[in-house]
Amino acid sequence: MKIDPIHQFNIEPLFTIGHIGNQTIAFTNSSLYMLVAVAIISLLMLASGTQLVPGRLQSVAEISYEFVASTIRSTAGSEGMKFFPLIFSLFMFICVSNLVGIIPYTFTISSHLIVTAALALLVFFTVLIYGVAKNGLKFFSIFVPHGVPGYILPLVMFIEILSFFLRPVSHSVRLFANMLAGHIALKVFAGFVAMLGFSLGALGWFGGVLPLALTVALYALEILVAFLQAYVFAILTCIYLNDAIHPGH
């Protein structure tokens, strides 16, 4: 009995679509769970009815709508509602795929850095392009904070510019690392239970109680993390977009 906490992140091609250059494009388990996430969100949002008094499914759909809308309004103002579809898509995609990924034997899309990096870069370039298109060169005033004495201004500007370009790194690594580490920890503690049970017999069954309790506790924490990281990703997107909408602040 061996614990293999990395196996759950393997990408298994289901069937191959074609090649781009020397890269093979395959429909993988990751693609399948992307499809599952899109299907769940579409089902939730489209099949939930438009009753005056909402049912359960409709309530969930409306709560998600109101939750994302109020997050945008409180962080980026009412002008930020332009990006409502984008932020809603990001939040729901990450939240649903994280929650699906927590079910045993499933795959977690956001446990791959390439996926979170792609989403973070999407946000980064949206901010950059919209900010420049809307404000012109005034957009770059976000690198010049108000009320900073002239002699340290170059240093502050250097730090601001650096932090701006490091945003996609922290944005993507935060989500990726949380999901990866959480799933590894869960797998390791759950593996201890089985390992003790198989190797030590009756004593192991008793010994397994502690890691089992830890697994249950970690599982609850991971459900929270799955939602929270989606929320953090969405709210950071709002904050970054706020720079593009109101560069004066």
Give the type of residue at 15: F
Contact between 37 and other proteins by CB under 8 A: the answer reads yes
Contact between 13 and other proteins by CB under 8 A: the answer reads yes
Instruction: Tell me the site size for other proteins, rule CB under 8 A.
Output: 69
Buried b (16+ CB within 10 A) or exposed e, 211-232: bbebbeebeeebeebbeebbbb
Cβ–Cβ < 8 Å for 237, 123: yes
CA 61 to chain centre: 19
Nearer residue to other proteins within complex by CB, 135 or 237? 237
Residues linked to residue 15 through DSSP beta bridges, in sequence order: 27
Helix or strand holding residue 239 (H, E): helix 209-245
Q: Which residue has the tokens 């393997």?
A: 10
Q: Pattern of binders to other proteins over 51-90, x per CB under 8 A?
A: xx-x---x--xx--xx-----------------xxx-xx-
Q: Which residues contact 179 (CB under 8 A, 6 or more apart)?
A: 98, 101, 108, 110, 111, 225, 226, 229
Coil, strand or helix: which one is 133? helix
Q: Which stretch binds other proteins (CB under 8 A): 16-24, 141-149, 152-160, 235-243?
A: 16-24
Contact between 34 and other proteins by CB under 8 A: the answer reads yes
Q: Which stretch binds other proteins (CB under 8 A): 26-34, 139-147, 153-161, 199-207?
A: 26-34
Q: Pattern of binders to other proteins over 159-198, x per CB under 8 A?
A: ---------------x-xxx-xxx-xx-xx--x-------
Enumerate binding residues for other proteins (CB under 8 A): 2-7, 9-11, 13, 20, 23-28, 30-31, 34-35, 37-38, 41-42, 45-46, 48-52, 54, 58, 61-62, 65-66, 84-86, 88-89, 92-93, 109, 111-115, 118-119, 122, 174, 176-178, 180-182, 184-185, 187-188, 191, 225, 228-229
